[in-house]
Amino acid sequence: MTSPTQQDTADYITQSGQMAWTVPGLANTHNPRPIRTVGVIGAGTMGGGISMNFATAGIEVKIVETTQQGLDRGLSVVRGHYQRSADKGRFPQHEVEARMRRFTGCLAIADLADCDLIIEAVFENLDLKRTVFAEIDRVAKQGAILATNTSALNIDEIAAMTQRPQDVIGLHFFSPANVMKLLEIVRADQTSDAIVATCMALAKTINKTAVLVGVCPGFVGNRILFKRQAQALKLVYKGVMPWDVDAALKAFGFRMGPFQMSDLAGLDLGWSKGAKTHNPIRDALCEVDRRGQKTSAGYYDYDTARTPVPSEVSVEIITRLTGVKPIEMAPQTIIETCIFPMINEALKILEENKVQRPTDIDVVWLNGYGWPVDKGGLMFFADTIGAPEILRKMQALAAEDDAFSPAILLQTLAETGGRFIDIDTGGLKTGPL
């Protein structure tokens, strides 16, 4: 590809977004099921945000928490979001009450027996989700759609807890769920066409951009993100400071880099006191109560305006754990080290038939992860670099860690001169491949 113009890039983004709605092989005879009432299990940040999408669209919502206190707190947060929007003039004041009247608070999953769609939004723990789904299966009416909001777990294992795996699907909302446009619709091995058709139609009703993907660790978006995070951490172990990694990726076009993003999400996400995880630096920061923006300290120090400032405490912890002194690295080298593995992983997802088309990968990253719009998407950007250059970088990274071995598709493109955005591996496939 020659260097694309702004119009080329804009046209590509528009066309990719339109194509994402097309599901090859989905029978036209499958009319969407009516969704009049939605049940959401969990009134925390995700559950509350997910619920708002439906209430805003005029759909009744039953939201479940384990305690009255938790339920009240969750509904209060929802009301606060709506009130702030009304205060900003986005809709009239009376609409706040109209939307809140669509909520019914519940303290038992059994209260969701009449719901047309039930979405589980509990903690990201497979055993917990399996337990919840077994209970949903016992109480949900026949024909109800059973959905999980998991961001990475095996939905086939969750569906196996029910007597109706054909009715189970992943609806992966992105945080904040009431704001972010992307919805990864995750088709499990036994998910029926009717359920897929209904969820794709529902995504339009609640004003989301939907992309249909398959079951694999992290699905499409997070699976690719994990590779970027892994390489960013590897750079820190070589002596590159977190803020230098972040600065390079911000210069590339991201709103924030991986370490600032981690601070924003909370370094203690999935961590507990005394835990030893795959990231000893994160563990050490948490142990001294540097847990991100919420404690005004993580990888960075934060002032009252939450402005990130490089931290001498972090430098000391990183240096002690890595055994290397801080070094400088060219921003372009940092960019290639973090971005090229993302492209490579996207190709592996295509090889495994866990996504319909390469352009869908770009829709995911543009709408859910802040990919810079001027670069058109991951696959679009890859065509501006060329497979041979990306292959050379991946071969070098693979020499250090075979988890980054070049995708077969990458080698093929380098040999044939084909385009990333034209790759056709046969679309999304479920069941034994």
Find the CATH number of the domain harbouring 127: 3.40.50.720
**Same domain flag for 143 and 205:** yes
- pLDDT the model gives residue 433: 47
The answer as to whether 185 is a domain residue is yes
pLDDT above 70: residue 182: yes
The answer as to whether 230 is a domain residue is yes
The number of beta carbons lying within 10 Å of the beta carbon of residue 194 is 19
**Same domain flag for 230 and 301:** no
**Same domain flag for 37 and 173:** yes
**Same domain flag for 362 and 296:** no
More confident residue, 271 or 253: 253
The answer as to whether 245 is a domain residue is no
pLDDT tens per residue, range 367-414: 999 999 999 999 999 999 999 999 999 999 999 999 999 999 999 999
The answer as to whether 400 is a domain residue is yes
Check which CATH number belongs to the domain holding 286 and give it.
1.10.1040.10
The secondary structure of 273-339 as a DSSP string is TT---S-HHHHHHHHTT--BGGGTBSSEEE-TT--EEE-HHHHHHHHHHH----B---HHHHHHHHH
The answer as to whether 410 is a domain residue is yes
**Same domain flag for 91 and 49:** yes
**Same domain flag for 372 and 266:** no
**Same domain flag for 165 and 193:** yes
**Same domain flag for 232 and 343:** yes
Is this prediction's pTM over 0.85?
yes
The answer as to whether 248 is a domain residue is no
**Same domain flag for 132 and 270:** no
pLDDT tens per residue, range 55-68: 999 999 999 999 99
The answer as to whether 280 is a domain residue is yes
Structural domain containing residue 334: 1-22+220-238+329-433
- pLDDT the model gives residue 29: 59
Tokens found for residue 246: 């972040």
**Same domain flag for 388 and 266:** no
User: In the predicted model, what is the mean pLDDT of the chain?
Assistant: 95
Site of tokens 């934060």? 302
**Same domain flag for 123 and 147:** yes
Per-residue DSSP letter, 407: P
Euclidean distance between CA atoms 130 and 382, whole angstroms: 39
How many independent structural domains does the chain possess? 3
